[in-house]
Structure 1
């Protein structure tokens, strides 16, 4: 398999009406979406779920970390180019939302087809960050968080795997700390901001700054039931947001 192909955890298929490219959560790789369907077919949608694998983790562990979200956006956009032949969206949660936004912002200046919709979950707007308790945690606290997250995903923490995850988490958080815009950048497509009612990491009301990143009529916000990690199960309400964003672009 080529280096370029390794950007995707699995091959991108052609038998779909739209694609959703998903960035992983800080400290994790694309396999974190193992409970997501390979396809979103809610409300008549036909969306392939494409899992992006940044370097420096899982099957790309030996590759150097991307360093900054801007660098990751450049790498990802090169790999995305052959697959932008139909409507597509970018999704990210928490730190992954910043990676998704950075990629959309980069694509906007390249002449490539822009995302039909960017979906950001549980993250403050880039001109208001960096924000989050993870950014100031000690190593022991981050270790405990990774162990808890492993259990949330249905696994049992193994010391060697946690140690690897901690290394990835530290470098991912460095990228998060380094990413801040002086002022909002308006994206050309739709922007859907997804908050979670019982999320104690990023409260839905902390995400209102994203409104400045969308043109009139292209900003949509929703608060879904669940906690910070509810997205890991791909709940029906979230899948419906994907269907609405990719099927009804540009409609307020």
Structure 2
């Protein structure tokens, strides 16, 4: 398997009109998007597999979003030959933003749209109760997340997932740009009306990072994993050109 192939559950199709690269939620791998359709109209959903999880669990997780973005840009470059978007929810929204920053700095093609779900702007963070949790408390969250994903929370699976989640939480803590980078690509900030993790009203500062459209969707923090219609409609509305 080539190095870049490890980053995808499946290689991006040459037939897609646009691509949506989806970064996995903290503590999770790319299979968390298994309930999402492969195509949303002509938009191909391309889940990204990060080191340290699932089929890449033997690899070391990234310690900074900057290092992750550096490598991710190199992997994605061959597939930025058509309109594309980046999507991240909560912790994974931040490396999505940092990847857009890296693309800008290197003069690469920019996203047609950056989709940020349930996360405050980077210069207002780090934010979230996970950042203050003990391992025991995080283990309980992992247990619940596995159930949300439709799995069985066996002790060994909880332990492995906790290790990944703790690494992701520590990486999140390290990320705090003093000033936002103004992106030339538009941003869609997606809040959730029942989200107790990140109040959608805290997302207003994404406007400091570029032209931002705010959308309030129905549901709690984890509802995005179910690929609800209002989320898919937002992708079509904001990524179709």
> TM range, normalised to the smaller chain?
over 0.9
What stretches of structure 1 move > 2 A for 4+ residues in a row?
none
Q: Which residue of 2 aligns with 1:169?
A: 165
Number of residue pairs matched by the alignment: 241
- State the distance in 2 between where 1:111 and 1:209 align: 25
Whether 1:232 and 2:225 are equivalent positions in the alignment is: yes
SS at match of 1:221: strand
SS at match of 1:92: strand
Q: 1:155 aligns with which of 118, 127, 151?
A: 151
Q: Which residue of 1 aligns with 2:3?
A: 3
- State the Cα distance separating 1:246 from its structure 2 match: 1.1
Query: What is the CA RMSD across the aligned residues, in angstroms?
Result: 0.8
Normalised to the residue count of structure 1, the TM-score between the two structures is: 0.94
Q: Which residue of 1 aligns with 2:120?
A: 124
Q: Render the CA deviation track for 1:81-138: whole Å, top value 9, x for unaligned.
A: 0000000000000001001001011111112100110000000100000010000101
Q: Render the CA deviation track for 1:26-55: whole Å, top value 9, x for unaligned.
A: 0111011111111111xxxx1000010110
The answer as to whether partners of 1:24 and 1:96 remain within 8 angstroms in 2 is yes
Q: Render the CA deviation track for 1:222-241: whole Å, top value 9, x for unaligned.
A: 10000000100011110111
Q: Render the CA deviation track for 1:171-201: whole Å, top value 9, x for unaligned.
A: 1111100001111211111100000000000
Q: Which residue of 1 aligns with 2:140?
A: 144
Q: Which residue of 2 aligns with 1:103?
A: 99
The answer as to whether partners of 1:190 and 1:245 remain within 8 angstroms in 2 is no
- State the Cα distance separating 1:161 from its structure 2 match: 1.0
- State the distance in 2 between where 1:227 and 1:201 align: 9
- State the distance in 2 between where 1:64 and 1:125 align: 27
Q: Which residue of 1 aligns with 2:40?
A: 40
Q: Which residue of 1 aligns with 2:214?
A: 221
- State the Cα distance separating 1:167 from its structure 2 match: 0.6
SS at match of 1:27: coil
Q: Which residue of 1 aligns with 2:180?
A: 184
SS at match of 2:21: strand
Q: 1:241 aligns with which of 227, 230, 234?
A: 234
Q: Which residue of 1 aligns with 2:204?
A: 208
Normalised to the residue count of structure 2, the TM-score between the two structures is: 0.98
- State the Cα distance separating 1:159 from its structure 2 match: 0.9
The answer as to whether partners of 1:97 and 1:123 remain within 8 angstroms in 2 is yes
- State the distance in 2 between where 1:100 and 1:184 align: 14
